[in-house]
Amino acid sequence: MNFPKGFVWGVATASYQIEGAAREDGKGLSIWDTFCLKEGNIWNGQSGDIACDHYHRYPEDIEIMKQIGVNAYRLSISWSRVLPNGTGKVNPKGMAFYDRLIDQLLEAKITPYVTLFHWDYPEELYCRGGWLNPDSSDWFAEYTKVVVEKLSDRVKNWMTMNEPQVFINHGHHHGTHAPGLKLGTAQLLRTAHNTLLSHGKAVQTIRAYSKSACNVGLAAVGVVFTPATDKPADIAAARQAMFSVTNKDVWNNTWWMDPMLVGKYPEDGLALFGADAPAIREKDMAIIHQPLDFLGLNIYYGQTVRAGKEGQPEIIPDPVGHPITFYHWGVNPQTLYWGPKNFFERYKLPIYITENGMANVDWVALDGKVHDPQRIDFLNRYLLQLFKASKDGADIRGYFQWSLMDNFEWASGYRERFGMVYVDYTTQQRIPKDSAYWYKDVIASNGAAFGK
Ligand code: IFM
């Protein structure tokens, strides 16, 4: 059971979740720095101030990746570390950190996959209106240019942003993520529209300034529905659920991906949102609709669907006792079959699974090791499904496990451990969990070690 030759086996992280050094070397504040200060926002009042101290310990973390044998690492850049005010003056020390990080990764023969924005939005720009400001897409393009000019002689794989569904919906609608806003539908859709424009302008900027041939995409949430049976009607219903807009929020696939990949907002969404839909200027859709080289999908769980009345999707709740992770997300391995398959068929772009993994309550056992059999079983089940999707024709180029190491899980603080490497936050000691050794075998055999 082998994945195609050249398959990318990686791990993923994000700047605010691991770097720490939140107020060091000239870094400006991000909205997560300030959001964490407010009582009640984060579990146990925690923050990413120190996190995994990766800013200082990156050589050790790269060494661990080398031992696991990954050939790729997905990281993100902290916008306010590079541009403390979000625009204008560059912080040379901040940029130098990413310079060193990239050099050392390449020295270790690990290919960097860089996400430009993984939620740590500059506080200064938020004070100027953030994603609601019509200039926000130009700010993002300016930041993109600074990073691309500096790193693109070595970085060839770019993602404009991570999970727009989450930072807009949770951050600007539910208020559970930074900046903690609860906007009404019209304003929410305006932030989404500016985010889409930012994506488009960033793609244009990468292509205009990259010093080498590059691959450009984004990492989106793959909102996946799986069919209850193999009956064509159930399969069609699940696909319909995946590609429709049914709620007055932005937790869906097509409100984002259709503008980016097809060049127009989905009709059902426009009808549902009515007068709340954003004003679209003449050139907007052309800016948003940039050719991409790949589609990155972050997939963790999904819902089961059957064909109900007149074939319409009907969600079937997971049965009582269905396995869940510590985050209470259902274990649904089939999402890694139907997700990439349906996205590939609709958008015809090569797919990377840019995140997949699970939170657990791992701890150090009496023998000094960290045993995480559930994570091994989880990944095994999901990867078997991904393999099946690849065999059935979906063009799947790579897989990034979330995450290299335990880290700051946003509003849940350090409660959820997603890593293959255990982090003792008091001593900053790293201990590779059993799953890290298992992943090493999987990578070394290009997938042949599954099912063991
Ligand atoms: O930790 C997050 C990551 O930042 C974005 N995708 C989901 C992960 C787990 O919640």
426's tokens: 């008091």
The CATH number of the domain covering residues in 8-444:
3.20.20.80
Q: 409 CA distance to ligand 1 centroid (A)?
A: 7
Q: What is the pLDDT of residue 448?
A: 84
Q: Is 39 in the active site?
A: no
For ligand 1, atom 9, name the residue with the nearest CA.
Answer: 409
Q: 18 CA distance to ligand 1 centroid (A)?
A: 12
**Measured between alpha carbons, how far is residue 447 from residues 17, 379, 398 in Å?**
29, 12, 11
* Of 288, 287, 292, 319, the residue nearest 303 (C-alpha): 319
263's tokens: 């060049």
Pocket of ligand 1 (CB under 6 A): 14, 17, 163, 298, 355, 402, 409, 418
Whether this model's pTM surpasses 0.85: yes
Residue 78 CA to residue 171 CA, distance in Å, equals: 17
At 244-275, the pLDDT tens digits run 999 999 999 999 999 999 999 999 999 999 99
Q: What is the pLDDT of residue 450?
A: 73
Residue 374 CA to residue 380 CA, distance in Å, equals: 10
For ligand 1, atom 10, name the residue with the nearest CA.
Answer: 409
Q: Work out which ligand 1 atom sits closest to the CA atom of 402.
A: 8
Catalytic residue among 19, 163, 409, 416: 163
Q: What is the pLDDT of residue 2?
A: 83
Domain residue spans in the chain? 8-444
Q: Is 163 in the active site?
A: yes
66's tokens: 């080398």
Q: What is the pLDDT of residue 451?
A: 65
Q: 357 CA distance to ligand 1 centroid (A)?
A: 9
* Of 331, 323, 338, 328, the residue nearest 228 (C-alpha): 338
What pLDDT tens digit does each residue of the chain (452 aa) get?
689 999 999 999 999 999 999 999 999 999 999 999 999 999 999 999 999 999 999 999 999 999 999 999 999 999 999 999 999 999 999 999 999 999 999 999 999 999 999 999 999 999 999 999 999 999 999 999 999 999 999 999 999 999 999 999 999 999 999 999 999 999 999 999 999 999 999 999 999 999 999 999 999 999 999 999 999 999 999 999 999 999 999 999 999 999 999 999 999 999 999 999 999 999 999 999 999 999 999 999 999 999 999 999 999 999 999 999 999 999 999 999 999 999 999 999 999 999 999 999 999 999 999 999 999 999 999 999 999 999 999 999 999 999 999 999 999 999 999 999 999 999 999 999 999 999 999 999 999 877 65
Residue 88 CA to residue 347 CA, distance in Å, equals: 37
Q: What is the pLDDT of residue 129?
A: 98
Residue 30 φ/ψ, nearest 5 degrees: -110, 170
Query: What's the gap between Cα 431 and its chain centre?
Result: 24
Q: Work out which ligand 1 atom sits closest to the CA atom of 300.
A: 7
Pocket test for ligand 1, best of 11, 121, 166 (most atoms within 8 A of CB): 166
Pocket test for ligand 1, best of 409, 414, 423 (most atoms within 8 A of CB): 409
Q: 430 CA distance to ligand 1 centroid (A)?
A: 20
Residue 393 CA to residue 345 CA, distance in Å, equals: 9
Q: 312 CA distance to ligand 1 centroid (A)?
A: 31
Q: What angle do CA 409, 413, 419 make, to 5 degrees?
A: 45
Pocket test for ligand 1, best of 300, 355, 356, 375 (most atoms within 8 A of CB): 355
